[in-house]
Amino acid sequence: MTETIREGFDVFVHDGEKAFGAVRSVSPGGKPQIVVYVENAGDFVVPLTAVREVHDEKVVLDCAKIAPDLKQAIGHAHQGEDPSI
Domain membership of residue 15 (yes or no) is yes
Q: Comparing C-alpha atoms, which of 65, 54, 27 is closest to residue 43?
A: 27
**Length of the chain measured in residues:** 85
Say what the pLDDT of residue 40 is.
84
Domain membership of residue 82 (yes or no) is no
Domain membership of residue 83 (yes or no) is no
Do residues 51 and 26 lie in contact, with contact meaning Cβ atoms separated by under 8 Å? no
Domain membership of residue 2 (yes or no) is no
Say what the pLDDT of residue 1 is.
54
> What is the residue-level pLDDT of the chain in tens, covering all 85 positions?
558 999 999 999 987 788 999 999 998 766 789 999 998 899 999 999 999 999 999 999 999 999 999 999 998 886 655 455 5
Say what the pLDDT of residue 61 is.
96
Q: Which whole-number Å values give the CA distances from 51 to 4, 20, 82, in the listed order?
A: 12, 15, 30
Say what the pLDDT of residue 81 is.
54
Number of independent structural domains in the chain: 1
For residue 41, give its domain range: 10-75
Q: For the chain, how long is the longest CA-to-CA vector? A: 44
